[in-house]
Amino acid sequence: MEKVSILAITKNGLNIGSKLTEIFPSWDLYAPSKLQNGKKISWYKESTSEKIVELFNNNKALICIFSLGAVIRLISSCLKDKKIDPAVLVIDDKANFVISVLSGHLGGANELTQTIAQKLNAVPVITTAADVNNTIAVDLLGKNLGWKIDDDSNVTRISAHMVNEEKIGVYQDAGQTKWYERLPTNVTIFKSLEELKKSNSRGYLIISDKNIEDDLKKDAVIYRPPTLVIGIGLHWDTTKQTIEEGIKKTLNKFNLSHKSIARLASIKKPKDVKGLLDLGKEMEIPIEFVNREELAEISAPNPSDLVKSFEGTPSVSEAAAIKVSKGDLIVEKQKFPPNLTIAIARIPY
């Protein structure tokens, strides 16, 4: 985990913190200057109540080696949202317990608690229901696979159904399928959305790169796996706005989610197309460029002699999507005259 700080305010805490920085050299240890002992530690002169606010706002994880009650009082004014708050852990003054306090799932505090407890030979204390019941953590499902939750407004409600062992239905038509070793007994996988609707499940988990109808969405958490490669044929002066509108229209026409875009793919030109580079940066989606010789080897369903005369390959958008995805086209070439074509392929799993 990047940017982790330890805050110790006693001599014992300082010793525990020093041990942790020996195990995890990239972590920073902070302690009040009154404990200064000549070691290379970040000594601070301000009050601990000031320092903890600074560390809370500037770290991915904060490990406090003093009482849980004090930590809660000191960070209470800093709390914003579980999606952005850092992981906060507490270790007692004798390192008997490592407690996951805040952002257990999304912030990674639970996982970090287990790791530290193992290193210190301490007892990990984790209280999130999904973990203690050994069931699916709805807000973490697929996170390690790059899945995005489409809308998190149902996460708390569906999580409650999950830990209360109420009936949960799962449907998946895209993405990595090996995301579980053994499903809880209250979870059933269905082969179609129609079966899912008829299942009388209290909630649904849907893993798909397609748009989902509203009557299912209201009781579902929808996960978007990174499965779509957008192949793009364009001119050197095709604008960012033109490319963006072409992608949006194509996705909407074929009922696909923009949150499942894994890559943009196009031909390697002598000079990069600024509009495409700008769009990739804005969307935070990587762009993969393919040499014309490689594209020419791809069998595409809609080759063009005109494209070949200009680009040295009969297909750009379709061939690039197929080449980069290593899968099959799900959307053949869509034309947006005069200077853009879009095709979409799905990454196979």
pLDDT given for residue 127 in this prediction: 82
- For 229, the 3-state DSSP assignment is strand
pLDDT given for residue 273 in this prediction: 94
User: Which residue in 183, 128, 180, 135 sits closest to 161, CA to CA?
Assistant: 135
* pLDDT digit string, tens, across residues 145-181: 999 999 999 999 999 999 999 999 999 999 999 898 8
286 membership: H or E segment, kind and range = none
Please give the model's pTM, rounded to 2 decimal places: 0.76
User: Which residue in 222, 258, 236, 216 sits closest to 311, CA to CA?
Assistant: 236
pLDDT given for residue 213 in this prediction: 87
Predicted confidence (pLDDT) at residue 132 exceeds the cutoff of 80: no
pLDDT given for residue 49 in this prediction: 94
Task: List, as one string, the DSSP characters of 239-257.
Answer: -HHHHHHHHHHHHHHTTB-
Dihedral sign for Cα atoms in the order 310, 313, 316, 320: negative
Q: Give the pair of three-digit tokens for residue 179.
A: 């995301």
Please report which confidence band the pLDDT of residue 131 belongs to, taking 50, 70 and 90 as the band edges: low
Please report which confidence band the pLDDT of residue 133 belongs to, taking 50, 70 and 90 as the band edges: low
pLDDT given for residue 1 in this prediction: 57
**Mean pLDDT on 273-290:** 97
pLDDT given for residue 335 in this prediction: 97
Predicted confidence (pLDDT) at residue 55 exceeds the cutoff of 90: yes
